[in-house]
Chains A and B, each alone.
Chain A
């Protein structure tokens, strides 16, 4: 017994040392600062080209972005096993891959890091496109003229005209706008209308920047010129008509195809993005990529994987919270690690929204479960039925919250549905057998655990540390080992055995 304990302490000590050393190394050699401190926002963007090669020579040409107002390109590189790569500079930059022969599915990666820098003036390299004579078909001519006339009256310059036009086109109640959209996309309609008004404009493809998104597609944006300046407009999303520069990045500088492929079929390109906050002084990620194997850095993985790890690396901390609460406090939870999954769902929403949603879902689920009990079903079928009902409720919840303008409801989908259904079933049985008090105890215990785990995982510094210093994972592991060998009393046992102590005292 004693020997086992000393082995354990040594193991923990070695783990902590290793973790500390790795952290120190990251700090001193890679110059990752210990505190998030003064931050620069970086966007890591990744384009993934996927295609089925036919065995003949393959040539791939992908349009790639460059520095633009608000975004400064820091680094770019490609990953493509066996392919030759060259960059074509010019008004529009391209990455060109080629290979003599390839078969089966091929993946090509292009990755670029942009620094978000709204203050620095990065000149727009573009010159305005030529005006094209409009080509309205007969029935649309009158509608186009009317939309343009109204918008012209409401506007003062090119940009305000574009804004007024975009509002008309995206407004579903506008008859003329509807008519135009029956023959062309909203962006094309807007460009045509602007050209009619002698305002140069064109459709370009860009990315809407959202942290941790994977498998995204490019969006059509309208670039409107006024002399030397230009602005972007997103006609499709009525919510953000005016592109204010910080959440859209132009992928191309000139109209034209994004991806051209020879010698392969079923080609497509998808995009992933991730935002990181790092010190402005050092380009940490560039270093990390260079000796990826040595530094064992998550930053050397494809961005879509990195986005996953951002959350995954927090899980050990949550597990530690569960272990501490169980061993030191003695809190009862329904399902040992269920609170951890709930906490993960909380991370995607806000805490209060998460708690309310959880309570509503579980209580509605309990009522439904009571109704199902009358149908006399087999256990597996009953739990499956609860799963269906829970998903139905979540859909209802999302719809209601969307129409009432609460957007947090939309993310309810992240709740672990299957676990939730089992929780409902167990709690319902618990209610029947031990009474509502026990349900409240276990449910409350689960929620307290989930909340504490959430509060820890939500701290900005904690997220920064866990993502940037992988050595800390070993420290967490060591802490779990140490807590796991604690044989003292739990806090709730001090309360439980209190009469025993009093009686022997008196």
Chain B
């Protein structure tokens, strides 16, 4: 019995030693303590995030239009691009719910990312549900955002099935502390959400290279649909991407923040959305707990004299603290 337990359950002591952050602690020590309630709307409402990002010169996917009322639904085609695909998102959605990705339009038929054709009525029905608040955070009435479809950069073509891979960066007090790339799979229906079956690849903060990968919280080594070895993954422009993420802190003022970035084939790095309650799976993808890093940042900030550091400096600091060159033993000593 005891052996069986040991096989399937980690002991709390082990996890504490690894510095794994649990949900209870995340809710109390990170979200409640560092994220002021008044800043939540700028993150929970994707439309607000987009407008704010514009002010801070952070690029986001091109907005084609918004639909707020049921009556406007029949005219939704007026917002669609002449050619190419589009994405319909709930402004206040969570956990990737209610996102409809259309790759191609042919007459009254719409091709979903999964390769399934759906009718015009089905798109309208989706819009109607969405505006009624089916996907929104408290069931409140919502608005639909129509965005231009993002095309994955060529570097990632071998590492993704249908969908666009995105990069999740956890930013603590403005410093990037951990990053992972999320690759969609057949299992996840082309979506980049880990709990739906996407692959999470931990990314080294200095190099932008893969550390290790998990799917459904369990280790994987090759992409199950394309067969590419995941360790080959390498992200171009990594420094710029981290800086983009770090700037989101200045924009929202949230101390514990998850930034989702994508690299578009034409537009380059874009901010997809922000999350005030980022999940914990990123620790699995990186093979280490995030807590020592949070403590290292706290310590760094306590020792800091003079004005607050700008985003580029913050990225450098984080890279020095958490990058591959630095021996991981040092992180543990901080505790």
Which A residues form the contact surface with B (CB < 8 A)? Answer: 1, 327, 330, 376, 378-380, 425, 429, 433-434, 485-491, 493-505
Q: With A378-B70, A500-B18 known to touch, is A487 a contact of B217 (CB < 8 Å)?
A: no
Q: With A379-B134, A494-B11 known to touch, is A500 a contact of B20 (CB < 8 Å)?
A: yes
Among B10, B28, B217, max chain A CB count under 10 A is at B10
B14 at the interface (CB under 8 A from A): yes
Contact bitstring B186-224, A, C-beta under 8 A = 1, else 0:
000000000110000000000000000010011100000
Which B residues form the contact surface with A (CB < 8 A)? Answer: 8-12, 14-15, 18, 20, 22-25, 28-29, 33, 70, 97, 121, 125, 128-129, 132-134, 195-196, 214, 217-219, 283-284, 287-289
Instruction: Provide the residues of chain A in CB contact with B134, threshold 8 Å.
Output: 379, 425, 429
Interface of B is mostly: helix
Q: With A434-B196, A497-B20, A499-B217 known to touch, is A489 a contact of B12 (CB < 8 Å)?
A: yes
Q: Is the CB of B10 within 8 A of A501?
A: yes
A-B CB proximity, top 3 nearest: A379-B132, A501-B10, A487-B25
From residue B91, how far is it (CB to closest CB) to chain A in Å?
16
Instruction: Provide the residues of chain A in CB contact with B25, threshold 8 Å.
Output: 487-488
Q: In the complex, what distance in Å separates the CA atom of A487 from the CA atom of B33?
A: 13
Chain A residue nearest in CB terms to B289 = A500
Q: Is the CB of A330 within 8 A of B14?
A: no
Residue of A327, A425, A486, A489 near B15 (CB, 8 A) is A489
Instruction: Provide the residues of chain A in CB contact with B219, threshold 8 Å.
Output: 499, 503
Interface of A is mostly: helix
Q: Is the CB of B217 within 8 A of A496?
A: yes
Instruction: Provide the residues of chain A in CB contact with B132, threshold 8 Å.
Output: 378-380
Q: Is the CB of B125 within 8 A of A501?
A: no
Residue of B9, B12, B97, B125 near A376 (CB, 8 A) is B125
Q: Is the CB of B18 within 8 A of A504?
A: yes
Please name 16 further chain A to chain B contacts, defined as beta carbons within 8 Å, in addition to the given A378-B70, A494-B15, A501-B15, sorted by A numbering.
A378-B128, A380-B132, A425-B134, A433-B97, A487-B29, A489-B22, A493-B20, A494-B10, A494-B12, A495-B9, A497-B18, A499-B219, A500-B10, A500-B20, A501-B11, A503-B219
Q: In the complex, what distance in Å separates the CA atom of A505 from the CA atom of B132?
A: 49
Q: Is the CB of A500 within 8 A of B287?
A: yes
Q: Is the CB of A485 within 8 A of B28?
A: yes
Return 25 A-B CB contacts under 8 Å, by A number.
A376-B125, A378-B132, A379-B129, A379-B134, A425-B134, A429-B134, A485-B28, A488-B25, A489-B24, A490-B24, A493-B20, A494-B9, A494-B12, A494-B15, A495-B9, A497-B283, A498-B9, A498-B10, A499-B214, A500-B15, A500-B20, A500-B287, A500-B288, A500-B289, A504-B288
Q: In the complex, what distance in Å separates the CA atom of A489 from the CA atom of B22?
A: 5
Instruction: Provide the residues of chain B in CB contact with A505, threshold 8 Å.
Output: 14
From residue B181, how far is it (CB to closest CB) to chain A in Å?
18
Q: In the complex, what distance in Å separates the CA atom of A500 from the CA atom of B287?
A: 6
Instruction: Provide the residues of chain A in CB contact with B283, threshold 8 Å.
Output: 497, 500
Instruction: Provide the residues of chain B in CB contact with A379, threshold 8 Å.
Output: 128-129, 132-134
From residue B86, how far is it (CB to closest CB) to chain A in Å?
20
Chain A residue nearest in CB terms to B96 = A433
Q: In the complex, what distance in Å separates the CA atom of A499 from the CA atom of B11?
A: 12
From residue A482, how far is it (CB to closest CB) to chain B in Å?
13
Instruction: Provide the residues of chain B in CB contact with A486, threshold 8 Å.
Output: 24
Instruction: Provide the residues of chain A in CB contact with B195, threshold 8 Å.
Output: 434
Q: Is the CB of B23 within 8 A of A330?
A: yes
Q: Is the CB of B128 within 8 A of A497?
A: no
Instruction: Provide the residues of chain A in CB contact with B128, threshold 8 Å.
Output: 378-379
Q: With A378-B128, A434-B196 known to touch, is A497 a contact of B24 (CB < 8 Å)?
A: no
From residue A237, how far is it (CB to closest CB) to chain B in Å?
46
Q: In the complex, what distance in Å separates the CA atom of A380 from the CA atom of B70?
A: 12
Instruction: Provide the residues of chain A in CB contact with B11, threshold 8 Å.
Output: 494, 501
From residue A329, how far is it (CB to closest CB) to chain B in Å?
11
Among B9, B29, B219, max chain A CB count under 10 A is at B9
Q: Is the CB of A493 within 8 A of B214?
A: no
Instruction: Provide the residues of chain A in CB contact with B214, threshold 8 Å.
Output: 499
Instruction: Provide the residues of chain B in CB contact with A494, threshold 8 Å.
Output: 9-12, 15
Q: Is the CB of B12 within 8 A of A488?
A: yes
Instruction: Provide the residues of chain A in CB contact with B129, threshold 8 Å.
Output: 379
From residue A124, how far is it (CB to closest CB) to chain B in Å?
62
Q: Is the CB of A495 within 8 A of B12?
A: no
Instruction: Provide the residues of chain B in CB contact with A502, threshold 8 Å.
Output: 10
Q: Is the CB of A499 within 8 A of B218?
A: yes
Chain A residue nearest in CB terms to B26 = A487
From residue B231, how far is it (CB to closest CB) to chain A in Å?
15
Q: With A1-B33, A495-B9 known to touch, is A501 a contact of B18 (CB < 8 Å)?
A: yes
Instruction: Provide the residues of chain B in CB contact with A1, threshold 8 Å.
Output: 29, 33
Among B25, B28, B133, B219, max chain A CB count under 10 A is at B28
Instruction: Provide the residues of chain A in CB contact with B289, threshold 8 Å.
Output: 500
Instruction: Provide the residues of chain B in CB contact with A380, threshold 8 Å.
Output: 132
Q: In the complex, what distance in Å separates the CA atom of A489 from the CA atom of B18?
A: 13
From residue A338, how far is it (CB to closest CB) to chain B in Å?
13
From residue A399, how far is it (CB to closest CB) to chain B in Å?
33
Among A380, A489, A500, max chain B CB count under 10 A is at A500
Q: In the complex, what distance in Å separates the CA atom of A202 from the CA atom of B60?
A: 88
Among B18, B22, B128, max chain A CB count under 10 A is at B22
Residue of B23, B97, B287 near A493 (CB, 8 A) is B23
Among A376, A496, A505, max chain B CB count under 10 A is at A496
From residue B262, how far is it (CB to closest CB) to chain A in Å?
21
Q: Is the CB of B70 within 8 A of A490?
A: no
From residue A31, how far is it (CB to closest CB) to chain B in Å?
43
Q: Is the CB of A490 within 8 A of B23?
A: yes
Q: In the complex, what distance in Å separates the CA atom of A134 from the CA atom of B19?
A: 93
Chain B residue nearest in CB terms to A498 = B10
Q: In the complex, what distance in Å separates the CA atom of A494 from the CA atom of B24?
A: 13
Q: In the complex, what distance in Å separates the CA atom of A192 from the CA atom of B58?
A: 95
Q: In the complex, what distance in Å separates the CA atom of A278 from the CA atom of B270?
A: 71
Q: In the complex, what distance in Å separates the CA atom of A420 from the CA atom of B219?
A: 38
Among B18, B24, B25, B129, max chain A CB count under 10 A is at B24
Chain B residue nearest in CB terms to A380 = B132
Q: In the complex, what distance in Å separates the CA atom of A399 from the CA atom of B132?
A: 36
Q: Is the CB of A493 within 8 A of B22?
A: yes
From residue B288, how far is it (CB to closest CB) to chain A in Å?
8
Instruction: Provide the residues of chain A in CB contact with B15, threshold 8 Å.
Output: 489, 493-494, 497, 500-501
Q: Is the CB of A488 within 8 A of B22?
A: yes
Q: With A434-B196, A494-B9, A494-B15 known to touch, is A504 a contact of B287 (CB < 8 Å)?
A: yes
Q: In the complex, what distance in Å separates the CA atom of A434 from the CA atom of B197?
A: 10
Q: In the complex, what distance in Å separates the CA atom of A7 from the CA atom of B121?
A: 57
Chain B residue nearest in CB terms to A483 = B24
Residue of A434, A495, A497 near B284 (CB, 8 A) is A497
Instruction: Provide the residues of chain A in CB contact with B33, threshold 8 Å.
Output: 1
Chain B residue nearest in CB terms to A486 = B24
From residue B4, how far is it (CB to closest CB) to chain A in Å?
12
Q: In the complex, what distance in Å separates the CA atom of A490 from the CA atom of B12?
A: 9
Among A380, A429, A490, A504, max chain B CB count under 10 A is at A504
Q: With A378-B128, A487-B29, A500-B287 known to touch, is A327 a contact of B24 (CB < 8 Å)?
A: yes
Q: In the complex, what distance in Å separates the CA atom of A502 from the CA atom of B8?
A: 10
Instruction: Provide the residues of chain A in CB contact with B70, threshold 8 Å.
Output: 378
Q: Is the CB of A376 within 8 A of B23?
A: no
Instruction: Provide the residues of chain A in CB contact with B20, threshold 8 Å.
Output: 489, 493, 497, 500
Q: In the complex, what distance in Å separates the CA atom of A380 from the CA atom of B24?
A: 34
Q: Is the CB of A497 within 8 A of B196?
A: no
